Amino acid sequence: MSNTAEKKSFGFYVIIFAAVLSIAAGVYFLSIHGTFGLDSTHNGVCFDPLIVGLLIGGAVAAVVLVMLRRYGLAAAVTAAGPGVALLVFVHKCYWYVVDVFVGIDEKHGFDPRFITFVVLIIAAFLLGEIAIYSRKTKAVR
């Protein structure tokens, strides 16, 4: 095993996994074009290119920062990208969530695509938060 691989710790791998989850969430959101629930209603369309840009761009920036060995900044980016994307997503999908809770879209409930995307983006955000507080490298002796 190489000497550089021995220096990496739990936080380093969490940064990488958070970046992969962030890219997966961005690609998934782009592939479904942010449409949930009844496609005929305007309330089910939650697409915003800013969400995709924050998810994929943040992950790419984090990987570049990891290559530059700026692990602390990379961890912050893996938390901030999905975090801000989640806030924009909540703003865009407010009416869809309200329709489901109030009962307008009661018999359909939440679309499985909506639940899948929410799980992906929250998991990426939480892993980014874990990466901030985790040790990225082991102490060299």
DSSP 64: H
Q: What pLDDT does residue 11 have?
A: 85
Give dist(CA 115, CA 113) in Å, integer.
5
- Please say if the pLDDT value at position 121 is more than 70: yes
Q: Which of 71-75, 85-89, 127-131, 133-137 has the lowest mean pLDDT?
A: 133-137
- Please say if the pLDDT value at position 83 is more than 60: yes
What is the value of pTM for the model shown? 0.85
More confident residue, 136 or 1: 136
Q: Residue 112: which residues within 8 A CB-CB, separation 6 or more?
A: none
Query: What pLDDT, in 10s, does the model give residues 27-70?
Result: 999 999 888 776 555 556 788 999 999 999 999 999 999 999 89
Class of residue 23 by CB neighbours under 10 A (exposed 0-12, middle 13-18, buried 19+): buried
CA distances from 122 to 40, 66, 110 (A): 27, 22, 16
Q: What pLDDT does residue 1 have?
A: 47
Domain boundaries, the chain: 7-34+43-130
Give dist(CA 107, CA 90) in Å, integer.
22
- 18, 22, 24, 27 alpha-carbon torsion, rounded to 10°: -170
Work out the percent of the chain whose per-residue pLDDT is above 90.
56
Give dist(CA 12, CA 51) in Å, integer.
25
Q: What pLDDT does residue 21 have?
A: 96
Other residues' Cβ atoms within 10 Å of the Cβ of residue 47: 17
Please report, as a single letter, which amino acid is at residue 37: G
User: Per this entry, what is the length of the chain?
Assistant: 141
Q: What pLDDT does residue 33 have?
A: 87
The mean pLDDT value of the chain amounts to 86
